[in-house]
Amino acid sequence: MSDGKVYPVKEAAKSRALVDKEQYMAMYKESVENPNAFWGEHGKRLDWIKPYTTVKNSSYDRNNLSIKWFEDGTLNASANCLDRHLAERGDQTAIIFEGDDPDNSRHITYRELHQETCKFANVLKTQGVKKGDIVTIYMPMIVETAVAMLACARIGAMHSVVFGGFSPEALAARVKDGGAKWVITADQGLRGGRPVPLKKNVDAALRHDDVTTVEKVIVVQHTAGDIDWHEGRDVWFHELMADASTECEPVEMNAEDPLFMLYTSGSTGTPKGVLHTTGGYMVYASMTHEYVFDYQQGDIYWCTADFGWITGHSYILYGPLANGATTVLFEGVPNYPDSSRIGKVVDKHKINVLYTAPTAIRALMAEGDQYMKQSTRESLRLLGTVGEPINPEAWEWYYNVVGDQRCPVVDTWWQTETGGILISPLPGATDLKPGSATLPFFGVQPALVDGDGNVLEGATEGNLVILDSWPGQMRTVYGDHERFILTYFSTYPGTYFTGDGARRDEDGYYWITGRVDDVLNVSGHRMGTAEIESALVAHPLVAEAAVVGYPHDIKGQGIYVYVTLNHDADPSDELKTELVQWVRKEIGPVASPDLIQWAPSLPKTRSGKIMRRILRKIAANEHDSLGDTSTLADPSVVEDLIEFRENT
Ligand code: ATP
Ligand code: MG
């Protein structure tokens, strides 16, 4: 991973941004030296029903763990996203809906969104939902999903959104874990021109013997496709909405009352039910949205994530709406009708900020520039990425081809657990280095520790921990506080352990090297997966690569590489030899791959992340113990790889 390239802050970004380099440094210093004053001030960005008088109250001592922010304040998240904007911008577009079908889009104003939310909040009340209850939402990316989430928040119910691409089994496990009595779904979703049988999946999930809590299934009619109907249990959304009142007082919530629970992606094991509370989360989501994307009134902002992930919660819904933004809600996929879609949607809605994931960037890059070139993208001013380390090669393509060298790229590192972005450039303040998430956000104190938990100083590499609490931090694993303490606060006592490894360079920039569990130890050399993968992706014929260790008699661990080639490349033995030489040249002999396997595609989570733990098992020939595969996007990929493995 070369530190070589630096892209200095652009004048255009600097002249409009909230903070430049000096201001960032001054504010950062204040935020960590005096968090109570800093967050006490910035907490005022929300409308509080009863203002807080205390700010931070946290202890990372595992025997006395406590994380509380603004704890005597009260507020309502939906009122902060809707009601407070009505006077000034009731007629402004809150959501631009862009359907799966490119001819289907519409604008929803703040006033309309407020009305729909109030109506559905009243519906939920008539269905018996009360403050503190859990409601499972299993929906496509449509406006009703935003309405459902905001309506839950309005009456103080916790939503638990389950990604609409999950199987009935994965849905069943999540419904069971939360014990929801209500499921909100749609007849069908639409993705890439094909229907997704959401209601059918709900029916199948609820047939599981151990899913016993659900009393009502509220069904949005979206495609009007054929579905089964369970009299007494199933109810139509539109029928309930027909005569619901548009008035609904938001419930007064304590800052520490739960807002939602949400499961992690499951890249490293069984997903964790992450619980976020109201005050700190909302302050942090809205503040990071404003500063990281330099959001200003009138900007059109598009995050391509799904509501099923934290990115959809914090940066499609809560952060943008709290800021009175216009947020784009995309139902479809980047390659439908073809790979020019993203660029065309940008042109259609004159989008200024695009926030997407490395998996999408790599996929579009592999298709070639001609698709992107079918749009002007001249409205874009900022690009963002999240979800995995972005290979410098993909970063450069994003910057050069998608952003025409005009738009800064903010590589935002964070987790479901963190609620919002923790490490990221700020467009007016931070010089960029492709592949680095750069510097911490206000109030965030990252540190690198060695295996014994000693804090390492200067330019170095280690396990990434956070030394003190920030407002958006998760408060517990739902129903399993012990797991919360064990997972995050026990490995390196006194710190929050992220599970990721990172390198810090001479400028204090952070480079995420991958999951700590994935670190390779080859002949005594410790190596992150990201660096070798990036070297491979830099080869002109390689679309994607995943690196894992496997047992090796001499080296301890050997380097096993899965490579997906560009569509036009020929998978020959000569190319394997060439790739080995390539990595030796890019990084050095210690990183040279021992085995290369061609992979038509890689196993990914439903949120698009490479699942190296499964690749590790395949490499080690342990096909019978793949672990939790329920979060896998396409199980057939694994079968293909096992078959290929046997022929390698
Ligand atoms: P699980 O915790 O269930 O294994 P997960 O960690 O993939 O799943 P998420 O919370 O969706 O679940 O993802 C957070 C992780 O994604 C981070 O810990 C990090 O490994 C990776 N990540 C996110 N953004 C970035 C980024 N900008 N650069 C590098 N890695 C990133
Ligand atoms: Mg994780």
pLDDT per residue as tens digits for the range 366-376: 998 999 999 99
Residue 39: count of CB within 10 angstroms of its CB:
24
For ion ligand 2, residues whose CB falls within 5 Å: 264
**Distance set, CA 326 to CA 34, 85, 99, 107 (Å):** 33, 12, 16, 9
Candidates 414, 432, 511: which one to mutate for ligand 1, based on the most atoms within 8 Å of Cβ?
414
Closest-approaching ligand to the CA atom of 498: 1
Span 329-387, pLDDT tens digits: 999 999 999 999 999 999 999 999 999 999 999 999 999 899 999 999 999 999 999 99
The ligand 1 atom at the shortest distance from the C-alpha of residue 385 is: 27
Closest-approaching ligand to the CA atom of 415: 1
3-class SS at 487?
helix
The ligand 1 atom at the shortest distance from the C-alpha of residue 605 is: 7
Candidates 174, 264, 355, 631: which one to mutate for ligand 1, based on the most atoms within 8 Å of Cβ?
264
Place of tokens 């396990």: 463
Cα(61) to ligand 2 centroid in Å equals 21
Supply the residue whose CA is at minimum distance from atom 16 of ligand 1: 387
φ, ψ of residue 489 to 5 degrees: the values are: -120, 5
Q: What's the confidence (pLDDT) of residue 403? A: 98
Closest-approaching ligand to the CA atom of 463: 1
CB under 8 Å to 117, separation ≥6 — which residues?
Answer: 78, 82, 147, 150, 151, 154, 248
Burial bucket for residue 224 (CB in 10 Å: 0-12, 13-18, 19+): exposed
Q: What's the confidence (pLDDT) of residue 625? A: 87
The ligand 1 atom at the shortest distance from the C-alpha of residue 390 is: 28
Which residues define the annotated binding site for Mg(2+)? 537, 539, 542
Cα(607) to ligand 1 centroid in Å equals 10
Per cent of the chain over pLDDT 70 is 99
Please state, rounded to an integer, the average pLDDT across all residues of the chain.
96
User: Is 399 a residue whose pLDDT tops 70?
Assistant: yes
pTM, 2 dp:
0.95
Candidates 307, 388, 474, 477: which one to mutate for ligand 1, based on the most atoms within 8 Å of Cβ?
388
Q: What's the confidence (pLDDT) of residue 1? A: 45
Span 125-150, pLDDT tens digits: 999 999 999 999 999 999 999 999 99
Closest-approaching ligand to the CA atom of 631: 1
State mean pLDDT over 7-25: 97
Span 246-278, pLDDT tens digits: 999 999 999 999 999 999 988 888 889 999 999
Cα(165) to ligand 2 centroid in Å equals 19
* Residue ranges in 378-467 assigned as alpha helix (H): 392-397
Cα(267) to ligand 2 centroid in Å equals 7
Q: What's the confidence (pLDDT) of residue 258? A: 98
User: Is 222 a residue whose pLDDT tops 60?
Assistant: yes
Supply the residue whose CA is at minimum distance from atom 18 of ligand 1: 415
- Select the more confidently predicted residue: 268 or 114: 114
Cα(500) to ligand 2 centroid in Å equals 8
**Distance set, CA 641 to CA 125, 162, 616, 629, 648 (Å):** 49, 28, 12, 14, 10
- Position 648 confidence tier, pLDDT thresholds 50, 70, 90: low
User: Is 523 a residue whose pLDDT tops 90?
Assistant: no
Pocket of ligand 1 (CB under 6 A): 264-269, 271, 309, 386-389, 411-416, 437, 498-500, 512, 515, 607, 609
Q: Counting runs of H as helices and runs of E as strands, what totals does the chain give? A: 22, 31
Supply the residue whose CA is at minimum distance from atom 14 of ligand 1: 415
Supply the residue whose CA is at minimum distance from atom 17 of ligand 1: 415
Q: What's the confidence (pLDDT) of residue 266? A: 86
Q: What's the confidence (pLDDT) of residue 274? A: 98
Measured at the CA of 428, the angle between CA 422 and CA 432, to 5 degrees, comes to 65
The ligand 1 atom at the shortest distance from the C-alpha of residue 424 is: 27
The ligand 1 atom at the shortest distance from the C-alpha of residue 411 is: 27
Closest-approaching ligand to the CA atom of 614: 1
Cα(497) to ligand 2 centroid in Å equals 10
Q: What's the confidence (pLDDT) of residue 540? A: 93
Strands 234-236 and 216-220: parallel
Closest-approaching ligand to the CA atom of 413: 1
Cα(312) to ligand 1 centroid in Å equals 14
Place of tokens 């490995």: 491
Cα(515) to ligand 1 centroid in Å equals 8
Supply the residue whose CA is at minimum distance from atom 3 of ligand 1: 266
Cα(544) to ligand 1 centroid in Å equals 18
Cα(622) to ligand 1 centroid in Å equals 25
- Select the more confidently predicted residue: 52 or 555: 52
- Position 2 confidence tier, pLDDT thresholds 50, 70, 90: very low
Q: What's the confidence (pLDDT) of residue 567? A: 85
**Distance set, CA 324 to CA 91, 316, 328, 644 (Å):** 11, 12, 13, 51
User: What are 335's two structure tokens?
Assistant: 């390659």
Find, among 616, 526, 548, 542, the residue nearest to 579 by Cα: 542
Candidates 292, 512, 534, 613: which one to mutate for ligand 1, based on the most atoms within 8 Å of Cβ?
512
CA pair distance 362, 334, nearest whole angstrom: 11
Q: What's the confidence (pLDDT) of residue 631? A: 85
Which residues define the annotated binding site? 191-194, 311, 335, 387-389, 411-416, 500, 515, 523, 526, 537, 539, 542, 584
CB under 8 Å to 252, separation ≥6 — which residues?
Answer: 49, 50, 74, 75, 76
Cα(264) to ligand 2 centroid in Å equals 6
What's the start-to-end Cα distance of the chain, in Å?
29
Residue type, 321: L
**Distance set, CA 541 to CA 84, 576, 587 (Å):** 52, 11, 18
Find, among 311, 305, 289, 280, the residue nearest to 441 by Cα: 289
ipTM reported for the complex, 2 dp = 0.99
